[in-house]
Amino acid sequence: MQWTLEAMRINKGLTQGELAKKFEVSSQTIARLEKDSSDIGYQLLKKYMDYFNVQFDDIFLGKKYENFV
């Protein structure tokens, strides 16, 4: 199963601001990456992998799918 960046954060009970502080980035960076993580840098990706204890293949990287019905 692959996790989105947003799903990992929510599963830990963190706000975007709280995660931003832990990763030493802005909350705008977290929000942007949760919408489209296709351009995430290696260092930040590594922080996600380490903090959430997941492997690269467990993370969904790309644009967030939204169902507009």
Which residue has tokens 């996600």? 48
Among residues 45, 36, 42, the alpha carbon closest in space to that of 64 is found at 36
List, in order of start, the domains of the chain with CATH numbers. 5-58 (1.10.260.40)
**pTM for this entry:** 0.86
H or E, element range at 16: helix 16-23
The pLDDT tens digits of the residues spanning 19-50 come to 999 999 999 999 999 999 999 999 999 999 99
pLDDT of residue 68: 47
